[in-house]
Structure 1
Amino acid sequence: MHRLLRPAVTLVVILAGALVVAEPAAAALPATVRAMTWNICGASAAACEGKGSASQKINSIVQQVRSDPGIGVIMIQETCAHLHSNPLATALTNATGATWHVSHRTARSISSGQAIECTFDGAGQRDAGVAVLMRSQADEQIETFTQTFASSPNPSASQGWACIKDRGNKIVACSVHLLRPEDDPDDAIKRASLRDMLSELKQWQDFYGYRTIVGGDFNIDDGGAALDPIQAFAHEVDEDDNCNTTGLSCGLLGNKYDHIFYGRRAWLQSTGDAGSDGGGLSDHRRLIGQAAPRNQNEVNAAVAGTPPSGLPCVSNTYVTVCWENSGDRIWVRDDESDGKRAVAEWFAGANRSDYWRNGICNNSLGSGVWGQCNKDMVEGSEIGLRGTRLNGGAFTDSTSMLYTIV
């Protein structure tokens, strides 16, 4: 067994003004996850004149989901929180019977740093930006957050994203809108945003075992070299660029500025294509795609036993987890007599492009009792695992991560 000596990596996100450390977990997943991105042209009264009302845009998305109930993630841009993002979550919840979670990020001016005003309804509210919505599913643990891209030449006004992290099902989805060429003529902010975006996606996937989805209006055509790094990291919906997302029709007078990316290691090849503009409701067409998780999440009940000495372990006050390379066993012990179960979270294959698994080993044997889950991993795969405890259906009080090679 080879222990990986990595520098400590902590993923810090901005959540309602507070600093929060990401806490991954694992549970069941659907066979495929369908996602849609659409620049709804809903923020500017001047630029979006004649593009329909807010209610028409919301109703159009609701009808799309009704006709395509597999859609579970929606990214929208040029959206106002009070007009579109929040009412859309309510409308989708009412229409589908499933709770829809929403995360909205208000954009800021690159010149003043001031929040962008939504002029669509003349109300003077400064809440124009991007949003991501996610349909509720079994065993979810939802965290919504927004984030700026810190390496931007103007971080306070950088192009960031709105994200939803489903810790139970190991999915993180984000919506982004990068600057237009006329607002960023040397592409300095755009390049910095793309670098930071890719760095975060890699951390979520490779260090914490998340399946990543990012979509939005990148303001970069599909052939643009700036997208090469993220295209190498992720499957792109409509990779063959059969349809543009701006313009009159496929291949005519338009560009593919809208993109959806699924991380390659955790998702199988994605498929999809451009869809409707909502009947003239936007100057962009929807992009819709899907991908299948490389493996379903695995949930196992730990069997009582005694681990051999000398194993690599991580622990805190509440839980200890260890990895036994001989037999590919995950060991977990509940170190606190408080009625909460000890759990080992794990994922395998972050160093490979052909292998990905993740799951939990659940110890309900009682305080002080070791339990083990016997897994069969592919030789040479990297394993990441850590301990946490199950508290009222939520995973809390996690240990640091332990990384090793099978």
Structure 2
Amino acid sequence: MKPKLLRVLPGVLSLALTLAVPIPSAAAEPKNLQLMSWNMCGSQRASWGCAGTGTPQNKIDVVKFHVTDNFVQAALLQEVCENDLTLLMSQLGSGWSRSFQPYQWSQDGSRANNTCGESGGRTDRIGTAIVVKAGMSGAQAYSTTQPWTGQNRPFHCATATYWNIRLCNVHLTPAHGNPDQPTWEYADDQLAEIRNIVSGYPNVAFGGDFNVEPPYFAGNARSWLWPTGLYSTGPGVAGYAECDQGADRDTHDGGYKIDYVFSSETRRWCAVGASAYSDHHVVIYSIAVT
């Protein structure tokens, strides 16, 4: 039997079509980031309760230790004196960047920067800092609800450019934060505002001194401060996973957990460790950023 031949009609062009099969692109390899949060208790003012917690160099050495031994590449620092931050940066060496925002005391709405020392002592400011290796961009302070009279604490963010992740530093107003109105709470508004800000970033990590225990802790009379959509307390619950969730180790010498690091990214491991040089413990969250 003869094979059948393709008949081409006059005036009709026969086209041979080659189908291009797309080759799937490889998924981007995650970049691991070790993010540290620590309230350094750096103030030399007696009213801040940091007496006996070591010298500025002692505190700097804690940060450097974790950079070397736990491969910390970014840090969220609270209660750090500005001159001590400058000294830390000089000892970390090249390739590191910082963003600093001061604490302020508000007296009937009139604000003044807090200084590290008592009157007649150190005049450098005290505040919170974001410290990043391998590039920083877009450092920005955000306005949050603060006491009209009382301590005002900043909230600010910056992008760690190598990882393309937004990092934000938190220090919330504790209970009785307004001496004129000691029953007024501010942390509920602040947490809601922070949730709204961080939700605008696809890759984000935020942490610091929250001055409130987890919402699921029994007997926590301030659990209502946590807004929906911030603290993911389990699978299927909207919000962000917290570094030490489930273990919930103490982060303060008083025996309670008030320091946190949250992230939108994949959890690798979490470390919590006490230090002789602050009443707060160090928290390190290792995440895989995609």
TM-score over 0.5 for the pair: yes
Q: TM-score, normalised by structure 1?
A: 0.54
Match for residue 258 of structure 1? 259
Give the letter for the 1:58 counterpart: I
Structure 2 matches for 1:183-332, cutoff 5 A?
183-184=177-178, 185-205=182-202, 211-222=203-214, 223=217, 224-229=223-228, 230-232=230-232, 233-247=239-253, 253-263=254-264, 267-269=265-267, 271-277=269-275, 280-293=276-289, 295=290
The one-letter code of the counterpart of 1:173 is L
Conserved in 2, the CA contact under 8 Å of 1:154 and 1:189? no
**For the Cα contact (< 8 Å) 2:130–2:158, is it kept in 1?**
yes
* 2:176 maps to 1:182: yes
Corresponding position: 1:129 with 2:136: no
2:79 is aligned with 1:87: no
Distance apart, 1:244 and its partner CA:
0.2
The one-letter amino acid paired with 2:261 is I
Given that 2:97 and 2:132 are in contact with CA atoms closer than 8 Å, whether structure 1 keeps it comes out as yes
Find the counterpart in structure 2 of residue 116 from structure 1: 114
Amino acid of the residue matched to residue 158 of structure 2? I
Conserved 8 A contact 2:176-2:184: no
Where 2:90 maps in the other structure, the secondary structure is helix
- Give the equivalent residue in structure 2 for 1:55: 57
Q: Which amino acid aligns with 1:220?
A: V
Name the CA shift for 1:106/1:284 in 2 (closer, same or farther; >3 Å). Answer: same
What displacement does 1:271 show? 3.2
What stretches of structure 2 of length at least 5 have no aligned partner? 1-27, 218-222, 233-238
Q: Secondary structure at the match of 1:76?
A: strand
TM-score w.r.t. length of structure 2: 0.75
Q: What is the CA distance between 1:228 and its match in structure 2?
A: 4.9
Q: Distance in 2 between matches of 1:270 and 1:227?
A: 25
Counterpart residue identity of residue 271, structure 2: D
Residue 99 of structure 2: which of 103, 128, 133 is its match?
103
Residue in 2 that maps onto 1:39: 39
How many matched pairs?
242
Q: How many Å separate the matches in 1 of 2:38 and 2:226?
A: 19
Q: Distance in 1 between matches of 2:103 and 2:136?
A: 26
Other-structure match for 1:319: none
SS of equivalent residue, structure 1 residue 32: strand
1:251-300 superposed Cα distances (whole Å, 9 cap, x missing partner):
xx51111010102xxx12353131131xx21111111111212x3xxxxx
Q: Is the 8 A contact 1:245 1:254 kept in 2?
A: yes
1:91/1:240 CA distance change after superposition, 3 Å: same
The corresponding residue for 2:4 is none
* Cα distance, 1:159–1:187 mapped onto 2, change above 3 Å: farther
Q: Cα deviation per residue 1:151-210 (whole Å; 9 max; x = unaligned)?
A: 5464997432232213564211121211222324445322221121111101123xxxxx
Structure 1 portions without partners, runs of 5+: 1-27, 206-210, 248-252, 296-406
Structure 1 pair 187/215, CA: closer, same or farther in 2 (3 Å)? farther
Counterparts in 2 of 1:53 and 1:163: CA distance versus 1, 3 Å: same
Which residue does the alignment assign to 2:67? Answer: 65
What secondary structure is seen at the aligned counterpart in 1 of 2:31?
coil
- Please tell me the residue identity of whatever aligns with 2:42: G
Matched position secondary structure for 1:91:
helix
* 2:102 counterpart letter in structure 1: T
